[in-house]
């Protein structure tokens, strides 16, 4: 039902009004794993995840996408993991809001949501590791003075299934 309208919905991801971005993102998240349109919609969704300062826009759709990715075609899943991982590694949401409100805490929470969207998905921990391997290694050293990108301990940390490089790194 949504797939035939993807071309009409897609431009709203770049609309300046947050409520229109939110509506477009929610509609597209439903078909994110559909092979007919995944290559067209996932990169612009990743751009929005990377730049929006509003979790009210991205939080719900990211959770929906996280739930759909484990059953997705591996090609679609890899594309989505790269988009979300890239959004995490290059997050550029505003540091202050109109009027001067400090968004530092919000930025941290947004990074947690993006990282959480990668976990629980086959290949997600490896993507997180790939995007932040230096920062993750610094988590092992509490005395490190380097600024690290990863904001908190890994969410949903269940490594019993084995997650490639993270297991080998001892994280």
Which pTM was predicted? 0.78
Digit-coded pLDDT (tens) for 153-169: 454 445 554 455 555 55
Question: Which of 38, 61, 43, 169 lies closest to 114 in space, CA to CA?
Answer: 61
Sign, CA torsion 68/114/86/162:
negative
What's the DSSP call for residue 154?
Answer: P
What sections of the chain are H helices per DSSP?
Answer: 6-9, 18-30, 38-51, 55-68, 74-89, 104-118, 124-139, 164-169
**Token pair 């930025």 is at which residue?**
107
**What is the structure's pLDDT at 152?**
43
Digit-coded pLDDT (tens) for 25-82: 999 999 999 999 999 999 999 999 999 877 777 888 999 999 999 999 999 999 999 9
Digit-coded pLDDT (tens) for 76-111: 999 999 999 999 988 888 888 888 888 888 888 888
Q: Residue 35: how many CB atoms within 10 A of its CB?
A: 11
The answer to whether residue 170 scores a pLDDT higher than 50 is no
Domain positions in the chain: 3-169
């Amino acid at each position: 039902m949504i797939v035939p309208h993807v071309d009409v919905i897609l431009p709203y991801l770049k609309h300046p009004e947050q409520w229109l971005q939110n509506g477009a993102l929610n509609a597209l998240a439903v078909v994110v794993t559909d092979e007919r349109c995944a290559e067209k919609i996932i990169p612009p969704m990743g751009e929005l995840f990377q730049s929006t300062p509003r979790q009210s826009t991205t939080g719900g759709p990211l959770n929906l996408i996280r739930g759909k990715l484990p059953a997705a075609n591996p090609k679609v899943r890899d594309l989505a993991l790269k988009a979300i991982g890239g959004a995490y590694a290059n997050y550029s949401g505003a540091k202050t809001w109109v009027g001067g409100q400090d968004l530092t805490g919000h930025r941290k929470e947004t990074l947690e949501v993006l990282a959480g969207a990668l976990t629980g998905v086959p290949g997600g921990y490896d993507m997180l590791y790939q995007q932040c391997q230096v920062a993750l290694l610094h988590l092992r050293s509490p005395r490190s003075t380097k600024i690290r990108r990863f904001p908190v301990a890994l969410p949903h940390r269940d490594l019993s299934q084995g997650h490639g490089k993270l297991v080998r790194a001892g994280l």
